[in-house]
Structure 1
């Protein structure tokens, strides 16, 4: 447990090289010390010392900063900066002002110095008193004190309670006191406004009651929306990529709304690439869409030709259509065996069976695991064999599948 006495003494390890103030209050702290000197060369040298990491651990106590700073000699110099602490009446004004405004306390706890408190907290002219054990005969601050000032400014960036400790009080005692006073302010405001506040008796509020039914949900939209056009400017993201991302997100959201299922759930990288490509027909592709096919095929590690065929299968049958294209299987006897006589009776010819396919010349039917027939076309006599492509949507009847548009 940290006591009040311990809370008023904090030690911070040395920072790595390059640390500088970033906040406006950290820079205001540096400016207050630099206002004591017109020797810009000495001040610049001190800033360099801080950036080079020459300031060792810093100890902060009420009204005083102490650190050793390594200069040109082997033995570091003991450097101090003193700051006037608040008197009791100053603390009373500060505490009441801070507690009365919840935003002030919230800003301090978030590591910021509120603008409304800056004038009271930050050092004014003549409030900083640097001292150093170095032999510099010039008027303070020396370069070692300037280096310590820059180091402390970085501490203030991250923790404004360092500044409050320099003014005389530690973080824990301050937060406890401010929390107590803030609660008292809130209680007084609540009491003052109580007669005009609406309310109900507690027994009424917790009594069982039935709530009215929820309103019916809004009807589903007719389809996914279309994204706006995106500018193609220097340094802007690729408009085609943005359009593709927005269009796919809208289609996915619409599918989830309409069916309760995510169309991307469980898809492999290749299946998702096929799904994205299927949104762009292969005929009449623009240059940008051809680039999309190329990029998708490269990402999936497959040729563009394979992607175009798979996208056609997806457009005709979705994931089931892609599986029919890529996954031959051995169907059980039944519908498959009855298909050949049905085709022969319809005058379609004698189809040759092989696994889940029926083939005659440049025509082919594939039976999917979903029990549907998928039509394919190919070039007879091609080497090393017909290049089979999906020819249309599926149908439960093999004869009808051959003649689907």
Structure 2
């Protein structure tokens, strides 16, 4: 075992240079994961979804899940274009396993860096050692795929399998947990270590900041920029924007309505005070969202309907009289509003739609859902499910999975004869079902 480990890794853990500017990182072996899910963060879940969506052999994928879940993957070495680990069989036999991922070309890295520099949110986040999820979409728009596609993960294992085996699949699953720890691992696999990448970003951002402003004289004395008429016609040159505001630690206090003057007839002072407080809380939430790096890439949220907004307000636990008015406005009644509030607290508008809407998945969405269900459990462990449109009910049990139109799974439990939301959504159906069953 020690010979295989030495051959796979060499020297100490952490960053190390193996020649030139190539970085290598070695992560210690991780203990078996708790619960059903492997990954917790967006990056880990995105890697696992890409892995499962592009897998050609579900049998090897399941074998890899079993080995990774059992803690059979040893220390993992990550370097440009390759990940390596020693993976043990169930009988303890060790195998050196490698998975190769195509590095980005110098031209692709140049486009990636140019894209990051053009977006203030990305450059600020990366230099702060954070990887915003929208980096994947923006990179794809620039023609650069960060996550693996079909055929991108090339296996090598000393068990002599001609394609992916359980050992290489287990290694791929373990990468999802490494990305939970540090998403920069993905960029290292694609060819750039964190230090090298950040140095290049810093140099480019400094060079851009020091570049002459439009209208300044160039070194040869020729004016730079464009004429005012051309700029006006183009409409792309704007005056400098003011600095972004800082986020207050908490919502502001609305004005008090406790005055000596009597309220106008029909004015519910308590309801107005409640609405003012909720408006302040919503404004604080919107500002926090707007200040999040990459916010400009998000789609604009649709305005809430009257019925949805009544649920949002009811989720803030108003006084009983106000709650009764909200129940009437939402046309749900008290019990229906309480159920809607429970869903809202687990996932806002998306959770409310899953509670109230039943839909039939299209053929491609249904195929992905079935593949996720097949891969979520080991052979023989999957419960018997009865499918009705986008709902999968465990036969002989009071638990159910509901599939959202965004591909996530929502846990439900039957209480007092009514299906009730049991927790937030999960990308892994087994995780959601464990929540519905009360095992997590």
Question: TM-score range, shorter-chain basis?
Answer: 0.3 to 0.5
TM-score w.r.t. length of structure 2: 0.42
Q: Which has the higher contact order (CA 8 A, sep 6+)?
A: 2
Of the two, which has the highest radius of gyration?
1
